[in-house]
Structure 1
Amino acid sequence: MDLIDDGPAPQGNQPEYTVSELSGAVKRVIEGEFGLVRVRGEVGRVSRPSSGHLYFDLKDDRAVIAAVSWKGQVARMQVRPEEGMEVVATGRMTTFPGQSKYQLIVEDVAPAGAGALMAMLEKRKAALQAEGLFDPARKKPIPYLPRVIGVVTSPSGAVIRDILHRLRDRFPRHVLIWPVAVQGQDCAAQVAAAIRGFNAIEPGGPIPRPDVLIVARGGGSLEDLWGFNEEVVVRAAAESRIPLISAVGHETDATLIDHAADLRAPTPTAAAELAVPVRLELLAALDALGARLTRGIGQGLILRRQRLRDLSRALPRVETLVSTPRQRLDAAGLRLGAGLGLAVARKHRDYDRVAGRLQPAALRGLVARQADQVAVKGERLRRAILLRLERRGERLEALAARLAPALARMLGDAGRKVADGRRDLARLAERLEAAPRQQLARLADRLEALDRTRVTLGYHETLKRGYAVVRGDGAVVTSKAGAEKAAALEIEFRDGRLLVGGRAGKRTKGEGESGQGSLF
């Protein structure tokens, strides 16, 4: 017999699935069984692409689960996972058919107890300390009496009120407040931006540059203060060129910004006390120093008067000092008369000897020679003056030639600016005239929209669609029991109200076997 091959043998009743059908079935099973789960494990590989999503692994000693948080979920996380952290992740299980794997969509991440947070804090502290950010040599001295104080804190808490109250009591100063969030996901970025913003203020500008900064927050748990342990805040505090006082939490609370700041205050109130001295104490000290100065000056004068008296006793008498010079003066006076006579006689002889040589002809020759010299110098002076006047005239003509075009250009520019100003003024006038009409039109449209919304949301529109409102004894009835208890019922329809008397729906004695009641 010949055997005929008709193709592969049948495989029974087992159904055939496509790849997509099988992947979808697996996806539905996993998502149905694990709608919302909490998974505890150690964070492995962490990836942060430019899309803003967060990809990481959760692992223990025997298995690994891929986890992903979308951009919006990452923004709401109080603590972001870092490699090596032990966390509890909350989310839902799903599959990724493109790679035939299952994964956890994480909505929130919390450290697995305070121990994990402390371990991560110590690790970050050691890394930043190794970079030298906590080195005491980097710290700057706090000014004794700052003119301007910058405060980085929440504007609505009790902290800023305590700081301002303490500054007002001790020594009022000019305070600049940079409002920030002191808790939550935005805390670290806003605090770092505030510190860098204060440092970016230029001295002598319209906004005064602070002489000292205070970063303050009230007490709280380790999770509440975690924003001040972020690396971006620590680096901003270490890079600050303005001296910075950290006043985060109470005395027992410790954050990394305390180590990077130039000075740590146990409380926000203590930070204000460290920033300024007590004005009354300074005034008292100034008064005491003034009194000491007055007493010192008076005592010095007394001592110098006594010293002067002591020295005057050692000096010789005035008559003794001037007696010898007086005798020399008298002797010189006696010789003066004879000396003057001899001097006059000597001068007469010298005059007679010189007068013999002074003849009129010699004087006339000298006068003529001097006159010739004066004439020559006068001619030279006249020519010099004429030459200078000629040069000044040429220069004046050149300047006049340059001045005319410049004046024409200035007049042309002024005319154009006036024309431009008139056009701008006309446009502004048109806009000013049209602005009220446009504003009234917008307000009218908004009022009309609100009225339509009021009508749409009212219950009368619901009545038009076939519904009714039942009231019992004046109140709205929403249940059968309430209707049975009411003495009278009122039903409101779209076009009016209907009053129903008696206790509706209740069986009374004397009714038929059917138990039907009467409505009045």
Structure 2
Amino acid sequence: MAAPETTASNAPEISVSELSNSIKRAIEDRFGYVRVRGEISGYRGPHSSGHAYFSLKDAGARLDAVVWRTAFVRMKVKPEEGLEVVAVGRLTTFPGKSSYQIVVEQLEPAGVGALMALLEARRKKLADEGLFDAARKRKVPFLPRVVGVVTSPTGAVIRDILHRLADRFPVRVVVWPVRVQGDTSAAEVAAAIDGFNALGPNGPAPRPDVLIVARGGGSLEDLMGFNEEAAVRAVARSAIPVIAAVGHETDWTLIDHAADLRAPTPTAAAEFAVPVRSDLLASVAELDARRRGAARRLGERRRADLRALSRALPGGEALVAGPRQRLDRAGAALAARLRGAVDARALKLAGLARGLARHSPRAHLAGLTERVRGVAGRLRRLGPALIERPRREAEAAARGLVRERSHLARRRAERAGDLQNLGARLGRAFADALAARRARVAASWQLAGAVSYRAVLARGFALVRDEAGEALRSAAETREGQRLRIEFADGSIPAIAGAGSGDAASRPVLAAPPRPKRARGGAGEGQGSLF
């Protein structure tokens, strides 16, 4: 087969990497920083590394884009699928895929329409989560003791709020300073709301009863910090009622929907937070006057009723005439009944006296004395018989105990002889068993010495080990310069393998040292195997 024809060319040969690097330098030099307008496509959120990858497209082309993690955390406008933006960054290539891409450092909405669409999509998402439901909004306390304000400490807003609060109802105000514009505005507002909620009721800083989140007017871009999800979610989860006062009356932000109350201006927020003190004092004075008048009229009415009731009551003599007559009759009846009761008690007492005479202690004591005399006579007659019988029984029991003791002594002597015979037999059996066990141990020790590798070493052989102490069974397992350890019967020496250690013809022979004479069965022959 003919060789393919080669066409001579003066173009130098370059590698793929050189060509890719040349294209990369050309593109980066020509397009250092660019502003590209397009629609975000293929965005699935930040990668696990923190970087974000997506594409910018329009009607005729598509451009890969990447946002590094450090730039992503600083972005005011985050990438969202379908959002039309202006991306600011530098154009570069990715040699691994032979593609080019833009490294985005900043994102801007492509006009107010796109920003409004972004806010509408975000509003719908948060509304679907229930953050704007009217059922979760709480009533602002009528007369708070402490008012917390989240705003910039250097603007006119805080001065207007403090001035309005001082005019209406002076209360304690705690200000949490934040930035109301910029990349960190939303995070600082969220941290301030969470910080107020974290205050304890008896801590060094008082816990506010109501919060005011305020800012002056501005453009839609200036108010973007109050449209971020972080700020909206912080307002929604606040346990303290929140009054939102961002911008002018025509300005609306997402925290206005999540707040418990929306004020058109910061001054109006101060008016919503506290009532007018003078109006309260006037209302209290009016209520106190009405209370005093009602009490006076009630007292007059009660006195008139009492006078009418007193005129309807009968006189004192008429009231006590009937009870006085009933008392006289009851007194006469009581005297007659008392005399009859006394006579009946006297008769009953005379009968009881006669019964007591029959059961007097003297008569009872005389009867007991006679009974004691009779018992004493019986005891004098029966005494000798009662003592003699127990004495005979005790003597018979003593004779039985003596016979039982002699029987127990004979049994104890017989048991002692039996125990001596058993001890002698046990000693002889133990000596025989011990001799048999010693013979078996001696035989086993002789067998272990016969199979021990140390017996092989004693016959003039040597055992070669490597650096790890493993036994080497062939020359092929060694390498040149390898450190070895050769073990003889009386010890071990270090060695180094020479060149061509794997070849038996070229391997040097190490002579074993002379073997010292030692008695057969010495302490050097331990039990074990060769490997």
When normalised by structure 1's length, the TM-score is 0.63
Task: Report deviation, 1:329.
Answer: 2.8
> 2: distance between equivalents of 1:319 and 1:365?
68
- Are 2:22 and 1:25 equivalent residues in the alignment? yes
> 1: distance between equivalents of 2:350 and 2:58?
137
Q: For structure 2, list consecutive stretches of 5 or more residues without a partner in the other structure.
A: 366-531
CA deviations 1:89-142 (Å, max 9, x no partner) are: 222222222322222222322111111111111122122222322221222222
- Are 2:131 and 1:143 equivalent residues in the alignment? no
The structure-2 alpha-carbon separation of the partners of 1:26 and 1:366, relative to structure 1 and needing over 3 Å to count, comes to: farther
Q: SS where residue 216 of structure 1 aligns?
A: strand
CA deviations 1:233-285 (Å, max 9, x no partner) are: 22232233332221121211101111111111112222222222223322322
Task: Report deviation, 1:9.
Answer: 4.5
Q: SS where residue 98 of structure 1 aligns?
A: coil
The structure-2 alpha-carbon separation of the partners of 1:53 and 1:339, relative to structure 1 and needing over 3 Å to count, comes to: closer
- Are 2:262 and 1:264 equivalent residues in the alignment? yes
- The alignment's C-alpha RMSD in Å is 3.0
Question: What is aligned with 2:34?
Answer: 37
Task: Report deviation, 1:352.
Answer: 4.3
- Are 2:89 and 1:91 equivalent residues in the alignment? yes
Q: SS where residue 309 of structure 1 aligns?
A: helix
Task: Report deviation, 1:294.
Answer: 1.4
> 2: distance between equivalents of 1:185 and 1:234?
15
CA deviations 1:432-466 (Å, max 9, x no partner) are: xxxxxxxxxxxxxxxxxxxxxxxxxxxxxxxxxxx
Question: What is aligned with 2:418?
Answer: none
Task: Report deviation, 1:165.
Answer: 3.1
> 2: distance between equivalents of 1:234 and 1:99?
42
Query: What are the within-5 Å matches in structure 2 for residues 264-413 of structure 1?
Result: 264-333=262-331, 341-358=339-356, 362=360
Task: Report deviation, 1:36.
Answer: 2.7
Task: Report deviation, 1:17.
Answer: 2.7
Query: What are the within-5 Å matches in structure 2 for residues 127-166 of structure 1?
Result: 127-166=125-164
Q: SS where residue 42 of structure 2 aligns?
A: strand
2:32 partner letter: G
Q: Which residue among 218, 221, 229 is the counterpart of 2:219?
A: 221
2:103 partner letter: I
> 2: distance between equivalents of 1:156 and 1:365?
119
2:10 partner letter: N
Question: What is aligned with 1:197?
Answer: 195
Question: What is aligned with 2:66?
Answer: 68
CA deviations 1:326-349 (Å, max 9, x no partner) are: 223344455666555555555444
Q: SS where residue 65 of structure 1 aligns?
A: strand
Task: Report deviation, 1:68.
Answer: 2.5
Q: SS where residue 83 of structure 1 aligns?
A: coil
Task: Report deviation, 1:168.
Answer: 3.2
> 1: distance between equivalents of 2:364 and 2:334?
41
2:118 partner letter: M
Q: SS where residue 177 of structure 1 aligns?
A: strand
Task: Report deviation, 1:214.
Answer: 2.2
Percent same amino acid among aligned pairs?
61
Q: SS where residue 99 of structure 1 aligns?
A: coil
Question: What is aligned with 1:417?
Answer: none
Q: SS where residue 196 of structure 1 aligns?
A: helix
Q: Which residue among 72, 75, 91 is the counterpart of 1:77?
A: 75
Task: Report deviation, 1:296.
Answer: 0.9
1:188 partner letter: A
Q: For structure 1, list consecutive stretches of 5 or more residues without a partner in the other structure.
A: 368-520
Task: Report deviation, 1:351.
Answer: 4.2
Q: Which residue among 11, 15, 20 is the counterpart of 2:12?
A: 15
Question: Larger deviation: 280-289 or 311-320?
Answer: 280-289
Question: Larger deviation: 203-212 or 111-120?
Answer: 203-212
Q: SS where residue 58 of structure 1 aligns?
A: strand
Q: SS where residue 61 of structure 1 aligns?
A: coil
Tell me which structure has the larger Cα radius of gyration. 2
The structure-2 alpha-carbon separation of the partners of 1:145 and 1:22, relative to structure 1 and needing over 3 Å to count, comes to: same
> 1: distance between equivalents of 2:67 and 2:114?
21
> 2: distance between equivalents of 1:188 and 1:111?
18
The structure-2 alpha-carbon separation of the partners of 1:62 and 1:293, relative to structure 1 and needing over 3 Å to count, comes to: same
> 2: distance between equivalents of 1:19 and 1:102?
16
> 2: distance between equivalents of 1:53 and 1:103?
14
Aligned partners of 1:75 and 1:185 also within 8 Å: no
> 2: distance between equivalents of 1:149 and 1:363?
98
1:64 partner letter: R
> 2: distance between equivalents of 1:205 and 1:275?
23
> 2: distance between equivalents of 1:88 and 1:71?
19
CA deviations 1:481-505 (Å, max 9, x no partner) are: xxxxxxxxxxxxxxxxxxxxxxxxx
Task: Report deviation, 1:207.
Answer: 5.0
> 2: distance between equivalents of 1:285 and 1:302?
26
1:303 partner letter: R
Aligned partners of 1:27 and 1:94 also within 8 Å: yes
> 2: distance between equivalents of 1:328 and 1:98?
128
Question: What is aligned with 2:100?
Answer: 102
CA deviations 1:11-59 (Å, max 9, x no partner) are: 2322333323322332232223223322211122235223333333211
Task: Report deviation, 1:306.
Answer: 0.3
1:23 partner letter: S
CA deviations 1:127-159 (Å, max 9, x no partner) are: 222232222122222222234433322233332
Q: SS where residue 223 of structure 1 aligns?
A: coil
Q: SS where residue 96 of structure 2 aligns?
A: helix
Q: Which residue among 189, 208, 211 is the counterpart of 2:209?
A: 211
The structure-2 alpha-carbon separation of the partners of 1:225 and 1:365, relative to structure 1 and needing over 3 Å to count, comes to: farther
Q: SS where residue 145 of structure 1 aligns?
A: coil
The structure-2 alpha-carbon separation of the partners of 1:361 and 1:227, relative to structure 1 and needing over 3 Å to count, comes to: same
